[in-house]
């Protein structure tokens, strides 16, 4: 029975819709319009030990405008093209605490957006357009800045994707153990992500698959990232597996980045419990330093409908359950997740069904 204590955090990306339900993105949104919403939400100095503000000061609150920043030739901020909004929780000592914090902050955000004729929708991939075009092309300063890391180099990809960062850490994990966990989660990512799939639309129509986000993103960008201390050796990889922590609260953080954005925050809680079990597990042998892009693309099309994928996900649920013995709350959440798995459910399946029934889903108007 494990007594290891974990801490948890959630980072949740949302797309924006207008009052009539139409989808809004960098082609029709102004950064200033979304920032005006963030400006009226409360700022809490107690957030800062846990949350990074960033160089430009855009991330001063638990809510912030997510986008792609453009700079002048001397590195001065010119503009930020918005893709949507993000909510970040503080670090919590329980999964329940992180989920409850996200739900409360979502409620506050939605109320302020509604006043301005806006709302949020949760979808894993921009349903209208598959690419963000960098216009004008990067200048010399921007090129140097964006080529500084694999993640900066591929930052434009995130402009059409929406996903969470599910964070967990344990104080007694050293750098070697963190790297090993990161490699384990990277290896098993193709069998984890189908539980979250929520991007069945692409270029204004239903796509031939369940996660356009996974198809386009994972492999070029990390599945898992671990944050190490300044004296810990970094692993050279493209995309990155490790990163030097940018503030003290990040040291030791395991960040799983490959899930699609989930409409139900409770699903995030269930997935955090699954990740907890996989961190505690000592039986699973698979390890990879970078994600298997081809396998992710295959799984993105078929999800849990495929018997082999379904079986692989079931093996991970079994391993996590064994490792979570003595942790009843985590086991309860894992039980709920197992029920979704048994029914081969993911949010994308429901989204397609609603669209087929004629409902507006993620800004797209369905038709019979």
- How far is C-alpha 157 from the chain's CA centre? 13
Instruction: In whole angstroms, give the CA distance from residue 112 to residue 36.
Output: 10
The mean pLDDT of 216-226, rounded to a whole number, is 97
- Coil, strand, or helix at residue 79? strand
- Coil, strand, or helix at residue 18? strand
- What pLDDT digit, counting tens, does each position of 224-263 carry? 999 999 999 999 999 999 999 989 999 999 999 999 999 9
Quote helix, strand, coil % in the chain, to nearest 5: 40, 20, 40
Task: Specify whether the CB–CB gap between 34 and 85 falls below 8 A.
Answer: yes
Instruction: In whole angstroms, give the CA distance from residue 55 to residue 246.
Output: 11
Structure token digits, residue 66 = 């997510």
- What pLDDT digit, counting tens, does each position of 98-136 carry? 999 999 999 999 999 999 999 999 999 999 999 999 999
Percentage, residues of the chain above pLDDT 70:
98
Sort strands 364-365 and 360-361 into parallel, antiparallel or unpaired: antiparallel
Domains of the chain, first to last: 7-358 (3.30.590.20)
pTM recorded for the entire structure:
0.96
Q: Which residue, among 358, 336, 172, 351, has the nearest Cα to 266 in the 3D structure?
A: 336
The mean pLDDT of 292-302, rounded to a whole number, is 98
Task: Specify whether the CB–CB gap between 233 and 339 falls below 8 A.
Answer: no
122 to each of 6, 36, 293, 344, 363, how far by Cα in Å?
A: 27, 21, 24, 20, 10
Instruction: In whole angstroms, give the CA distance from residue 41 to residue 32.
Output: 15
Q: Which residue, among 256, 257, 227, 258, has the nearest Cα to 242 in the 3D structure?
A: 227
- What pLDDT digit, counting tens, does each position of 154-206 carry? 999 999 999 999 999 999 999 999 999 999 999 999 999 999 999 999 999 99
Q: Which residue, among 213, 204, 196, has the nearest Cα to 366 in the 3D structure?
A: 204
């Amino acid at each position: 029975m494990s007594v290891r204590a974990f801490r948890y955090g959630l980072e949740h990306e949302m797309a924006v819709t207008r009052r009539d339900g139409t989808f809004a993105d960098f082609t029709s949104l102004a950064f200033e319009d979304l920032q005006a919403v963030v400006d009226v939400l409360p700022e809490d100095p107690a957030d800062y030990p846990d949350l990074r503000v960033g160089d430009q000061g855009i991330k001063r609150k638990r809510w912030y405008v997510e986008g792609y920043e453009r700079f002048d030739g001397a590195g001065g901020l010119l503009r930020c093209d918005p893709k949507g909004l993000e909510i970040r929780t503080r670090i919590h000592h329980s999964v329940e605490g992180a989920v409850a914090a996200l739900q409360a902050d979502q409620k506050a955000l939605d109320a302020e957006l509604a006043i301005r004729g806006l709302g949020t929708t949760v979808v894993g991939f921009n349903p209208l357009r598959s690419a963000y075009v960098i216009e004008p092309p990067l200048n010399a300063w921007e090129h140097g800045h964006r080529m500084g890391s694999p993640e900066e180099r591929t930052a434009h990809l995130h402009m059409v994707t929406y996903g969470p960062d599910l964070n967990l850490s344990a104080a007694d994990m050293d750098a070697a153990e963190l790297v090993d966990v990161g490699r384990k989660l990277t290896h098993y990512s193709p069998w984890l992500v189908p539980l979250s799939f929520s991007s069945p639309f692409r270029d204004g129509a239903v796509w031939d698959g369940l996660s356009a986000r996974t198809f386009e993103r994972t492999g070029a960008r990390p599945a898992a990232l671990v944050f190490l201390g300044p004296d810990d050796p970094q692993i050279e990889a493209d995309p990155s597996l490790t990163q030097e922590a940018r503030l003290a609260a990040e040291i030791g953080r395991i960040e799983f980045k490959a899930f699609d954005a989930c409409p139900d925050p409770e699903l995030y809680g269930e997935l955090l419990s699954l990740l907890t079990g996989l961190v505690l597990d000592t039986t699973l042998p698979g390890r990879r330093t970078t994600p298997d892009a081809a396998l992710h693309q295959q799984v993105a099309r078929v999800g849990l409908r495929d018997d082999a994928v379904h079986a692989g996900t079931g093996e991970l649920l079994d391993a996590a359950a064994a490792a979570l013995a003595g942790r009843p709350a985590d086991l309860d959440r894992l039980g709920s997740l197992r029920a979704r798995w048994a029914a081969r459910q993911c949010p994308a399946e429901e989204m397609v069904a609603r669209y087929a029934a004629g409902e507006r889903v993620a800004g797209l108007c369905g038709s019979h």
